[in-house]
Amino acid sequence: MRETKKWFTQAEEDLKAAKDSLKSGHYNWACFQAQQSAEKTLKFFLYSHGYTSIITHSIKELVRECKKIEKGFSEVESYARHLDMFYIPTRYPDGLAGELAPAEFYEMEDAEQCISYAELISESVKRSSKR
């Protein structure tokens, strides 16, 4: 169980880092860190329910697995799909079409929305874990 808890601890730290990146204007990093927070939160939930190996980084796929355990995860499925779009292009210059680097492309609104979705996924995990 201690190993499982580390996933949630890191997810919370990633969310704090996303908020710090938002404040400092590093919007691409805020988006990525929010994506990471959601991914690790969902992995925490699955590991705490007996999963032993999780290969995917897709938040939507993780939510689908979580729905097998708790139907309430349906409410965050659209947030998961949205966050999946920030896994690679926020970090790699060739992940986006056009001439802009990720640091130039992403805006405050993107970061705020990603953080909000990560928070909603975290709340869903917290509610489901109490049951």
Q: What is d(CA 57, CA 43) in angstroms, rounded to the nearest whole number?
A: 9
Region for residue 92 given its phi and psi (left: phi exceeds 0; alpha: psi -120 to 50; beta: otherwise): beta
pLDDT value at residue 2: 66
Q: What is the DSSP letter of 127?
A: H
pLDDT confidence band for 129 (50 / 70 / 90): confident
The CATH H-level superfamily of 2-130 is Nucleotidyltransferases  domain 2 (1.20.120.330)
Nearest CA to 130 among 77, 74, 70, 43? 70
The average pLDDT across 99-114 equals 97
pLDDT at 1 over 80: no
User: What does the pLDDT look like over 35-81, one tens digit per residue?
Assistant: 999 999 999 999 999 999 899 999 999 999 999 999 999 999 999 99
